[in-house]
């Protein structure tokens, strides 16, 4: 249980274009999903908390107009990097909590496999 998928796993785009990344909870419903950014061999940097049916909560310093998050259903959250630039190149990972009793009792998160974004 508690499987999270991400699509695409890898994307290369030209500077100025927008890229959408999908995060799905496959076998559970996730009211809360998280979006992280990660640099090589570095820790996770929380970008925003995505709440189903409401606006995402962005961390300080993250531009909400650049990183659009939509959590329209209990199994899908999307991150759109708008007008991407080379400095947006990174590994983007989503995670979710499984609300099933005893699964995320202590805020454990289940992660997708990540999306490698390269902006040329």
Q: Note every long-range contact of 112-116, with CB atoms under 8 Å and residues 24 or more positions apart, other chains counting.
A: 112/4, 112/5, 112/6, 112/23, 112/24, 113/5, 113/6, 113/9, 114/6, 114/9, 114/38, 115/6, 115/7, 115/8, 115/9, 115/10, 115/11, 115/21, 115/91, 116/9, 116/10, 116/11, 116/91
- Contacting other proteins within 89-118 (CB under 8 A): 91, 93, 95, 97, 99, 104-114, 116
Q: Whole-number minimum distance, CB 112 to other proteins, in Å?
A: 5
Residue whose CB is less far from other proteins, 88 or 112: 112
- Rounded to the nearest whole angstrom, what is the least distance from the CB of residue 16 to other proteins in the complex? 26
Q: Is residue 74 at the binding interface for other proteins, with CB under 8 A as the rule?
A: no
Of the residues 42, 53, 65, 86, which one makes contact with other proteins according to CB under 8 A:
42
Q: Which spans of this chain sit near other proteins (rule: CB under 8 A)?
A: 4, 6, 32, 34, 41-44, 46, 49, 91, 93, 95, 97, 99, 104-114, 116
């Amino acid at each position: 249980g508690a499987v999270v998928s991400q699509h695409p796993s890898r994307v290369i785009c030209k500077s100025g274009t927008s890229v959408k990344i999908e995060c799905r909870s496959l076998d559970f419903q996730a009211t809360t999903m998280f979006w992280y950014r990660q640099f090589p061999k570095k820790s996770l940097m929380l970008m925003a908390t995505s709440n189903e049916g409401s606006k995402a909560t962005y961390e300080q310093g993250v531009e909400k107009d650049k990183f659009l998050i939509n959590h329209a259903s209990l199994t899908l959250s999307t991150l759109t990097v708008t007008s991407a630039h080379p400095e947006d190149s990174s590994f983007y990972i989503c995670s979710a909590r499984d609300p099933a009793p005893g699964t995320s009792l202590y805020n454990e998160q289940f992660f997708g496999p990540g999306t490698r974004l390269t902006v040329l």
